Amino acid sequence: MYDTSLFIQKVNTPAYVVDEAQLIQNLKILDGVRKRTGVKILLAQKAFSMYRVYPLIGKYLDGTTASGVYEAKLGKEYMGNREVHIYAPAFKEKDMQEIISISDHIVFNSPKQWGKWKEKIASSPKTLSCGIRINPEYAEVETDLYNPCIPGSRLGTKLEDLKQMDLSGISGLHFHTMCEQDADVLWRTVQIVDKKFGPILKHMKWINFGGGHHITKKGYQMNLLEKSISLFQEKYGLQVYLEPGEAIALNAGFLVSEVLEVMENQKKIAILDTSAACHMPDVLEMPYYPDILQENILCKPAQDFSDKNQYRLGGPTCLAGDVIGDYQFAEPLKEGDRIVFCDMAIYTMVKNNTFNGMPLPSIYLLKKDGKLELVRNFTYDDFKNRLS
């Protein structure tokens, strides 16, 4: 089990703590895939945008991918001389010139979007590689919120529409159909992409498998990932890209919280200084139960509240549904206790908010030598400046 004593009493709560040693371990796994296969791997900033560690990430990966001009600028500024890729369902006129100047790859969502911008790109002195996001109409994502292939999806172009398109100027195809899944899902997906889009892929230079790959998770089927990459390299001679976010910072982050009060209403309830709605919104959106450590002991979700050490964890906001979950603890909770939420580097800092005037958690970096660095402390001004 992870030793939280390195930071649990040293931080001002609530606080995100990113473990540099675990981050490096993940990056080495990804770099191994790059070296064995020739695939290029990009950081998907939508999952993890802690640019304090971008120079470190840039030592192992090929660049960043962005969902808009702000992320593109962040990758360009802090990742060094690495590739900048960008995709959005639609681009704004006021952003396009800057996007062109920043980016190496631009992926368009539809033939209409490509038609709107291709002349502007062709007239640019900069050489850009442009692609189209495809919708293979196949995904194994259980939660509709994260499934880009549900009926009526706005994401990607279906084969029937792609066939009607003039593909001159397009050099690659991009698909993103996965969400924190193993490579068996990828292997089934790439076979469908190969079968449906093969005649078009013959004329492309690259293909991007998107994100959602749990490459650094224990037990991940690396052989199927590499088999999927090889399929497109050997059959079509394509440069293959991956753009994981969660795999880069998987299990490399923690959220330290303090118990503010313990009360009872049919069951024991612990009110924390950490909010599910504000500080880890995926807990409500997925929904899911994050792992919790108490004194380095893993606490399990509660079942029937038959034990005295079972508590419902709730945030300090006025939102009735700001509940993290029901948990079985090793020891009774009391005011002032600290607990640690695990795997909190991804989809947390990038999605947090100040609803109800909640302070944003401080951000710390636990260096590989054991030293703790305060990267950012947020104040009232950060809350005020988001308002008017």
pLDDT tens track, the chain, 388 positions: 678 999 999 999 999 999 999 999 999 999 999 999 999 999 999 999 999 999 999 999 999 999 999 999 999 999 989 999 999 999 999 999 999 999 999 999 999 999 999 999 999 999 999 999 999 999 999 989 999 999 999 999 999 999 999 999 999 999 999 999 999 999 999 999 999 999 999 999 999 999 999 999 999 999 999 999 999 999 999 999 999 999 999 999 999 999 999 999 999 999 999 999 999 999 999 999 999 999 889 998 987 767 789 999 999 999 999 999 999 998 999 999 999 999 999 999 999 999 999 999 999 999 999 999 999 999 999 999 999 9
Q: What's the pLDDT at 304?
A: 74
**Please, what are the domains in the chain?**
4-17+253-344+352-384 (2.40.37.10), 38-249 (3.20.20.10)
pTM for this model (two decimals): 0.95
Q: Residue 126 has which token pair?
A: 């900069």
Q: What's the pLDDT at 305?
A: 66
What b/e sequence results for 103-141 when a residue is b if at least 16 CB atoms lie within 10 Å of its CB, and e otherwise? bbbbbbbbbebbeebbeebeeeeeebbbbbbbbbbebeb
- Which amino acid makes up residue 18? V
Round to whole Å and give the CA distance between 233 and 239.
7
The alpha carbon of 104 is separated from its chain's Cα centroid by a whole number of angstroms, namely: 21
What is the DSSP-derived secondary structure letter of residue 146?
G
Q: Say if residues 27 and 248 touch (Cβ distance below 8 Å).
A: yes
- Which amino acid makes up residue 384? K
Round to whole Å and give the CA distance between 123 and 121.
5
Q: What's the pLDDT at 356?
A: 97
Report whether the peptide linkage leading into residue 287 is cis, meaning its omega lies within 30 degrees of zero. yes
Q: Residue 324 has which token pair?
A: 């993290």
DSSP states of 317-344 as a string?
SS-TT-EEEEEE-SS---TT-EEEEES-
Q: What's the pLDDT at 3?
A: 87
User: Which residue matches tokens 């640690």?
Assistant: 340
Round to whole Å and give the CA distance between 345 and 123.
41
DSSP states of 222-273 as a string?
HHHHHHHHHHHHHHH-PEEEE--SHHHHTT-EEEEEEEEEEEESSSEEEEES
Q: What's the pLDDT at 168?
A: 95
